[in-house]
A = this chain, B = another copy of it.
Amino acid sequence: MIPGRSLRLTALANFPLIREGDDLARLILAGLDAGGLRLEDGDILILAQKIVSKSEGRLVDLKGVEPSVRARAIAEKSQKDPRFVEMVLRESREVLRVRPGLLVVEHRLGFICANAGVDRSNIGAEDGEGERVLLLPEDPDASCRSLRSRMKEEAGAEVGVVINDSHGRAWRNGIVGVAIGVAGLPALEDLRGRMDLYDYQLQITQVAAADELASAASLLMGQADEALPVVHARGFPYPMRESTMVELIRPRDQDAFR
């Protein structure tokens, strides 16, 4: 007999707008408490990138940014603000594609994504004056580990933490949530060597479990005027363990599509 199982995702209500220096752990604990959620071992918290970046002070005012010659050239080709492109380049290792409206790069952390995750949306007056953009967290895995430790100290629970962001895909329309930082859960669940229902050895089947969870949480977060940046998940089906984003980044020598 195969028992059923369930996964419940809950977005925390009334989460406040975040500024540099805010204590996310404390705010999340308060939000869980207000929602009647008590953390248990194996629960996972998924945080929208923007609140982690804001709490870590990753806002940059474009007014102080001087675009390089290279940034100006790419800005013209991509029809983007040269100062914005300059910040994208500073966050990137390599530019993959430039087309009008499109700038796909390898972020310094290895993610292939548009604009190196640099974002002009959802930045408001509490973030200060000027034309500000938001960069990804300096070290998202470290941010996750830190929050995981705080949850252990303050709620006594061994939880997983994921930071998610929304990425486009090469061959599909629309963005989906993906993990950009993990702690305390398997980023990649390796089922190789396991048998299928008929004792036929599975061929591929490394499952990007943290990405699947990031997508699930993204559904609840919303993108526009109703953003809910923290999601609590209960019922993640794989054994918890330490991992890092390195598991999810395809090594360059295995990349057939660059």
| Contact residues of A between 216 and 232, Cβ < 8 Å to B | 216, 218-220, 222-228
For the complex, give the distance between the alpha carbons of A4 and B236 in Å.
20
Number of copies: 2
Instruction: Report if A13 contacts B (CB, 8 A).
Output: yes
A184 to B: closest C-beta gap in Å: 16
Given A212-B176, A218-B212, A257-B170, does the pair A228, B197 have CB atoms closer than 8 Å? no
For the complex, give the distance between the alpha carbons of A99 and B218 in Å.
34
Residues of B with C-beta under 8 A to A35:
4
Contact A200 B256 (CB under 8 A): no
Instruction: Report if A153 contacts B (CB, 8 A).
Output: no
Residues of B with C-beta under 8 A to A218:
207, 212
Contact A237 B222 (CB under 8 A): yes
A113 to B: closest C-beta gap in Å: 9
Of A21-29, A140-148, A247-255, which stretch is located at the interface? A247-255
Count chain B CB atoms within 10 A of each CB in A170, A174, A178, A257 and give the residue with the most: A174
Given A4-B13, A4-B35, A212-B218, does the pair A175, B207 have CB atoms closer than 8 Å? yes
Residues of B with C-beta under 8 A to A208:
169, 172-176
Partner of A102, one of B17, B228, B256: B256
A5 to B: closest C-beta gap in Å: 5
Partner of A207, one of B174, B196, B209: B174
Instruction: Report if A121 contacts B (CB, 8 A).
Output: yes
Residue of B nearest to A114 (CB): B204
5 nearest interchain CB pairs?
A174-B208, A4-B13, A216-B216, A124-B198, A215-B215
A contact residues vs B (CB 8 Å cutoff) = 1-15, 17, 35, 97, 99, 102, 104, 111-112, 114, 120-125, 166, 168-178, 188-189, 191, 194-198, 200, 202-209, 211-213, 215-216, 218-220, 222-228, 235-237, 247-250, 255-257
